[in-house]
Amino acid sequence: MVTAIIRCKNRIQGLYNVHSLQHLLFFSNNSPNQKTKSPNQSYTNYLVNNMGFSDQQALSTSTKIHYKYADYSKFSENANSVVDFLKQHCFDDTHIIKVVSCYPKILACNVDETLKPKFKFIQDHGFCGSDLVSLFASSPSLVYLPMNRIIHDIRDILGSNENLIKVFKRSKLLSNSALENLVSNVAMLINEYGIDIKLIRNGILLRPGSFMRKPEFFRNVLIGVEEDLGIPRNSGMFLYGMHLLCNSSKQKIESKCQVLKSFGWTEYDVSELMRRSPNAFLISEESIRKKLGFFMIELGYKPDFLATHSALLGYSIENRVAPRHRVLLVLKEKGLLIDYNLYTAAIKTEKLFLKILIEPFKEDVPGLLQLYQSNKGCSNIDAISRRGDAKHQTLS
């Protein structure tokens, strides 16, 4: 595995200039600072009449077509051949619209020189029918990526074609540099940090973008996970800490720490939550206040309990915690439940919660299921949260 990753890293050096002049002539890659080009009516009409785009979709997509350097008749002829080719490979109109909207450069592809060999290679490696459609519809930029050089290694890292499709769906438009970064960063985690490939694979499936950051940035993030967040590399939370630092600034994290402290959390409590559940710091400040208002002000939970039972902070109050809390209260009031444990009830799957805490009591408490379901998403939770905020302000 490690050897394969290192080989792949060496092979994909210098693969950036893969787009032909034709692609550059037909389409523009406008940077955020460049002026948006006006739509060309011929191309807009083509997208509407030939491909079934809505007027709005066509206007938006046609601005990405660099018509200044292209002959329309040649464009339409080539685009027709691309569309026909995709339809021959089970792409329906919806798939094609999605692909072209996301990556209009595909209409400039040479079918014989680019699409046919690319699709054949992918089919030869296990992607057929709906899998082939899913792969390219999720990330049409794959048309221009050197997959014949990297698919084995990327798939080796991810473990299966299914996982490869999942990652590409989450990543949308991929680039050579993003894939190179992925391979380099995975090698870094394995060789320098001793992280198990199964944990890495799960991490990529969760947030693939974190692993596609530049290696220099990624290395600093890994250092920060240990030094700033206090999460050791042998912890199961190490990669979650990596996700946190890849997707949130230190200023935002510190601001959320201050929210916790405003509810009476000590430095130790905050550190304990960080060590056990760095994902809790990806929640918005507003959501943190709302959840602390419910758990601490309404239910009386202490910081040390929440820090060590951090899963509670990840659940929806409206749709999970509060409705289950209401069921437990009813059962306790009727003497049907002795051990009242909201945490245990909250972490159960929906199916298991219904089986253990609803089904056995349906005869003793008629309408219990309806009570549970009616409390989901209940607006009264917002009132509870507001009361919690008011009490919090008074206590502060």
Give me the number of domains the chain comprises: 3
Q: Is the pLDDT of residue 3 over 90?
A: no
Same domain, 284 and 258: yes
Residue ranges making up the domain that contains 56: 19-144
Same domain, 54 and 65: yes
- Proportion of the chain above pLDDT 90, given as a percent: 51
Helix, strand, coil % in the chain, rounded to nearest 5: 70, 0, 25
Of these ranges, 36-45, 119-128, 332-341, 365-374, the one predicted with the greatest mean pLDDT is 365-374
- 33-42, 305-314, 363-372: least confident range: 33-42
Same domain, 223 and 255: no
Would you say 173 and 141 are in contact if contact means Cβ atoms under 8 Å apart?
A: yes
Kindly indicate the confidence band of residue 229, based on its pLDDT and cuts at 50, 70 and 90.
very high
pLDDT at residue 369, as a whole number = 94
| Residue indicated by tokens 């329309």 | 72
Tell me the mean pLDDT in the region 3-7.
Answer: 46
Q: What is the DSSP string of 219-263?
A: HHHHHHHHHTS---TTSTTHHHHHHHHHHS-HHHHHHHHHHHHHT
The answer to whether position 72 is within a domain reads yes
The answer to whether position 149 is within a domain reads no
Q: How far is CA 293 from the centre of its chain?
A: 28
Kindly indicate the confidence band of residue 277, based on its pLDDT and cuts at 50, 70 and 90.
very high
Query: Which tokens in the block code for residue 334?
Result: 């009727």
- 1-5, 327-331, 344-348: least confident range: 1-5
Same domain, 44 and 60: yes
Between CA 196 and CA 72 the distance in angstroms is 53
**DSSP-derived 3-state class of residue 89:** coil
The answer to whether position 362 is within a domain reads yes
**DSSP-derived 3-state class of residue 195:** coil
The residue among 247, 270, 297 that closes a domain is: 247
Kindly indicate the confidence band of residue 321, based on its pLDDT and cuts at 50, 70 and 90.
very high
Between CA 245 and CA 210 the distance in angstroms is 9
Same domain, 243 and 101: no
Higher confidence at residue 161 or residue 1?
A: 161
Same domain, 224 and 258: no
The answer to whether position 167 is within a domain reads yes
Same domain, 128 and 38: yes
Same domain, 105 and 211: no
pLDDT at residue 384, as a whole number = 44
Tell me the mean pLDDT in the region 164-169.
Answer: 85
Question: Which residues, in sequence order, are CB contacts of 384 under 8 Å at separation 6+?
Answer: 293, 294, 298, 322
Between CA 322 and CA 346 the distance in angstroms is 9
Between CA 252 and CA 258 the distance in angstroms is 10
Same domain, 235 and 281: no
Angle, alpha carbons 11-186-126 (nearest 5°) = 65
pTM, entire model: 0.73
Task: Select from 105, 115, 36 the least CA-distant residue to 75.
Answer: 105
Angle, alpha carbons 17-22-26 (nearest 5°) = 115
pLDDT at residue 344, as a whole number = 94
Kindly indicate the confidence band of residue 16, based on its pLDDT and cuts at 50, 70 and 90.
very low
Kindly indicate the confidence band of residue 2, based on its pLDDT and cuts at 50, 70 and 90.
very low
Kindly indicate the confidence band of residue 66, based on its pLDDT and cuts at 50, 70 and 90.
low
Question: Which residues, in sequence order, are CB contacts of 381 under 8 Å at separation 6+?
Answer: 294, 317, 318, 322
Between CA 169 and CA 149 the distance in angstroms is 20
The residue among 95, 110, 144 that closes a domain is: 144
Between CA 345 and CA 123 the distance in angstroms is 47
End-to-end CA distance of the chain: 55
Q: Is the pLDDT of residue 392 over 60?
A: no
Between CA 316 and CA 328 the distance in angstroms is 17
Same domain, 193 and 288: no
Same domain, 128 and 242: no
The residue among 219, 247, 275 that closes a domain is: 247
Alpha-carbon distances of 76 from 50, 57, 81, 335, rounded to whole Å: 9, 18, 9, 75
Q: Is the pLDDT of residue 18 over 60?
A: no
How many helices (H) and strands (E) the chain has is answered by 24, 0
Between CA 355 and CA 358 the distance in angstroms is 6
Between CA 83 and CA 208 the distance in angstroms is 30
Q: Is the pLDDT of residue 208 over 60?
A: yes
CATH number at residue 44: 1.25.70.10
- Mean pLDDT over each residue of the chain, to the nearest integer: 83
Same domain, 130 and 214: no
pLDDT at residue 129, as a whole number = 83
The answer to whether position 6 is within a domain reads no
The answer to whether position 88 is within a domain reads yes
Question: Which residues, in sequence order, are CB contacts of 353 under 8 Å at separation 6+?
Answer: 324, 345
pLDDT at residue 150, as a whole number = 63
